[in-house]
Amino acid sequence: MLKNTIPLSMMFLAALGASSAQEEKLKELKGAIIALDGKTGTLTLHQLMTDKQHTFSLAAMDLPVTDPLGRKLKLDDLREELRVTAMLRNEAEVVGLRVDGPYQNGMIKTIDKVSQSVTLKGVFGETTYRIPESAKVIVGGKDGSLKQLKAGDAMQVLFALDKKTILQVQIGKGVHSRDPYLRVVRFYGILTELDHAKRRVQVFVQSTDAGVIKTYEVSPDAQLRTMYHLKPVSDVGFEQFSKWVKVYYFVDRDTGKIVNMDADLPIMVRRKVVKFDGGTRKLTVEDELKEKTFDLAADVKVMQPKGDGKLADIAANRIVNCGLSLDRSRVQVVYLWDK
C-alpha cells in the first residue's frame, strides 16, 4: 500500500548513525496498539494480518515517534487502536515508532470542485469529505492537485490523530480502494445493554438455531449512522444509541472493537396523520390505542416513493411511516405513501 511516508528505518538510521544501526540489525513490525504503559515502559501490539499479540519493552520514553509524513510526535500522543510500525532491537525492544494512519480508503464517487469535497465509497458505505487547502495531494507518488482527481479513482485519505483534520489525499499507482490491512467481520443483532461512558455494548446475536449475547467496546473512531430501510439517514454520536434497536456492525479482528455500526430507526408503519403543525413542528398520528404526538427532529427527512419530499407535503389524512429517533422521542424520517 503506497503511503508516501518516510521509512522508519531511514529515520532511525539518521538519528543513530548508519553504522551503529546496521550493526544492531533492527527489524520492523506493523501492528495495532493494544496497550501502551508508561509506568512499566511496555508496548503491546496486535501484529497486523495475524492473530498474534506481542509485548515489547520501550528503549526510552522519549524514543523517536513520527507520523506518516515524518513529523515528530511523542509517546503521549499515541492511543489504543492506532496502527504503528515499530523498529525493534533484538526483536524485544522498541527503539522507534511511526504511526501508520489513520487512513480511509475508497473509490471516488463524486467530486464537487466548488466546495472542494469528495464523496468516497468505502467498505462501510459512502462518506463525503471536504479537502482543506492545507492538505497535500499526491498523484502517482508526486505532488499534485485536486484538479487531477476523478470519479472512479481509488483514493486514500490521511487524517491527523484526532481523525478530524485531513492531512493528505493520495491517488495513483499502489493506492487501493480497500485498506489491505483492514480485517473486519460483519454481524447484526439487537442492542440489549449500553454503557455510554465506557463505550461498551451488549448485542443479542441471532444464529441459525440459537442466540448469544456478545459484549464489545466501540472504537472512538467508529463510524456510527442511523438507517431507514437500509438507506443512510445521518451520522450520530454514540450517546444517541439506545437499547432494543437493530444494528449492523463491523468488528476489527485486530482490536476486537466495533469500527462501524448502523442502527435501524424504529418505524411506525402506515399511520394516518391526524394533525400536522408546521409552526411548532409537531406531528400527530393514529396509533393502536390512542393518538401519539411527536416533535420533528431538526434534521428530519421527508421521503416519498418517487424521491425526496418536503414538510408542506405532510397533511391530515395522509398515510405515513414514521422513522423515530433511537430513543423513540422524535421523528427523524417521514415517509409519505402515495395519495
Structure confidence at residue 54 (pLDDT): 95
Q: What is the pLDDT of residue 307?
A: 87
Low-confidence ranges of the chain (pLDDT < 50): 1-3, 6, 13-21
CATH code of 294's domain: 2.40.50
Assess whether 259 and 271 both reside in one domain.
no
Is the residue at 3 inside a domain?
no
Domain boundary among 131, 148, 171: 171
Residue 9 parent element (H or E): helix 8-16
* 176 occurs within a structural domain: no
Give the closest residue to 161 by CA, choosing from 220, 86, 94, 85: 220
In a domain, 1, yes or no: no
| Domain range enclosing 192 | 184-264
Position 24 scores a pLDDT of 62
pLDDT at 20: 46
Q: Are residues 83 and 17 in the same domain?
A: yes
Q: How many structural domains is the chain composed of?
A: 4
Neighbours of 32 (CB within 10 A): 23
Surface-to-core class of residue 272, CB atoms within 10 Å of its CB (0-12 exposed, 13-18 middle, 19+ buried): middle
Q: What is the pLDDT of residue 18?
A: 44
pLDDT of residue 202: 98
Beta bridge partners, 136, equal 168
Tell me, yes or no, whether 179 lies in a domain: no
Domain final residue pick, 264, 282, 316: 264
Note the pLDDT of residue 2: 40
Q: Which pLDDT score is estimated for 9?
A: 52
Residues 90, 67 share a domain: yes
Q: What is the CATH number of the domain that holds 121?
A: 2.40.50.320
Whether residues 277 and 290 fall in one domain = yes
Structure confidence at residue 206 (pLDDT): 80
Query: Last residue of some domain: 231, 264, 297?
Result: 264
Closest Cα to residue 308, out of 270, 327, 334, 331?
334
